[in-house]
């Protein structure tokens, strides 16, 4: 597949270029990248064309709009060779393993003391609570994704438009060679496996990426505090920095903001 060339004839791309990975011998096509910032009309148009093109659209944030080499999609700092396949991993197994790692009280880590870890993860403590219940599916995942894409661009007006050859958004995380959570795991496929599970359970859609951020629309979010607390536990296992270095002091306060929230955003330090 040639990036940007498999779109329906009525979908014309703005000016852009194909980005190749700089690892190994290089020359591997990773994604197509627009030259100018994305506009609100492009993401939904390309998302609608995905079934025919096989190209997943992404809104790609930039660190410095005045520095062309400040973001990995500009300079090709994308590591495909490090990636396994999301299909090789089980979401719940990963989340349970990460939970045990981040709640370990004997861990030599300056993030939190043992007592602070127990406060953060209350009421679950050290015990992985299991996956959150699967909500009733929503038929509006495309509309919600489009609305979130517009909101994302309003907050990130310098974000560029990207196209990745991928059957779904979770696979696009791997196909780009994105290393956002590399301080926790060099294999992005482990995180993609969880996102793939969320695509099925919560109607999540991958809308945007930053150098160390992930932005998802969510069609079927938790609708009450009890459900949200279970989802918050999954978020902590997936991205502990959302709690450790975010605005919330513990899972309970974090969960309050998840009720009926149609977007999930993650940041790894």
Does 95 fall in a domain? Answer: no
Does 151 fall in a domain? Answer: yes
Does 35 fall in a domain? Answer: yes
Does residue 140 have a pLDDT over 90? yes
Does 6 fall in a domain? Answer: no
Does 5 fall in a domain? Answer: no
Integer-rounded Cα radius of gyration of the chain: 18
- Report pLDDT digits (tens) over 105-124: 655 555 566 656 666 787 88
Of 23-32, 60-69, 79-88, 220-229, highest mean pLDDT: 220-229
The confidence score (pLDDT) of residue 247 equals 78
Does 139 fall in a domain? Answer: yes
Does 116 fall in a domain? Answer: no
SS (H, E, C) 109-151: CCCCCHHHHHHHCCCCCCCCCCCCCCCCCCCCHHHHHHHHHHH
Four-point Cα dihedral 22, 27, 33, 36, nearest 10: 80
* Chain mean pLDDT for the chain: 88
CA distance 19 to 21: 7
Q: Which of 10-14, 162-166, 214-218 has the lowest mean pLDDT?
A: 10-14
How many structural domains are present in the chain? 1
The confidence score (pLDDT) of residue 87 equals 95
What is the span of the domain harbouring residue 67? 16-90+131-267
The confidence score (pLDDT) of residue 4 equals 55
Does 208 fall in a domain? Answer: yes
pTM: 0.92
DSSP label at residue 80? G
Mean pLDDT value of segment 127-154: 95
- 8 A C-beta contact, residue 236 and residue 99: yes
- Report pLDDT digits (tens) over 205-221: 999 999 999 999 999 99
């Amino acid at each position: 597949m040639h990036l940007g060339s498999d779109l329906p004839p009525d979908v014309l791309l703005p000016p852009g270029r194909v980005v190749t990975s700089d690892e190994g011998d290089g020359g591997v096509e990773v994604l197509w990248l627009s030259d100018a910032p994305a506009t609100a009309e492009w993401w939904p148009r390309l998302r609608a064309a995905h079934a025919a093109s096989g190209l997943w659209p992404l809104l790609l944030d930039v660190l410095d709009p005045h520095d062309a080499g400040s973001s990995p999609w500009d300079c090709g700092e994308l590591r495909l060779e490090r990636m396994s396949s999301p299909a090789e991993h089980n979401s719940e197994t990963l989340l349970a393993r990460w939970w045990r790692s981040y709640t370990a009280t004997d861990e030599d880590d300056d993030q939190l003391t043992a007592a602070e870890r127990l406060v953060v993860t209350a009421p679950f403590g050290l015990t992985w609570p299991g996956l959150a219940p699967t909500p009733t599916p929503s038929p509006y995942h495309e509309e919600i994704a489009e609305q979130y894409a517009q909101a994302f661009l309003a907050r990130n007006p310098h974000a560029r438009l990207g196209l990745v050859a991928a059957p779904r958004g979770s696979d696009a995380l791997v196909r780009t060679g994105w290393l956002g959570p590399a301080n926790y795991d060099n294999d992005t496929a482990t995180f993609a496996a969880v996102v793939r599970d969320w695509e099925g359970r919560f109607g999540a859609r991958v809308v945007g990426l930053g150098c160390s951020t992930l932005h998802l629309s969510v069609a079927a979010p938790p609708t009450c505090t009890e459900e949200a607390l279970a989802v918050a536990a999954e978020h902590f296992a997936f991205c502990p920095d959302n709690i450790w270095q975010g605005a919330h002091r513990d899972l309970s306060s974090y969960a309050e903001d998840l009720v009926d929230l149609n977007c999930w955003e993650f940041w790894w330090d």
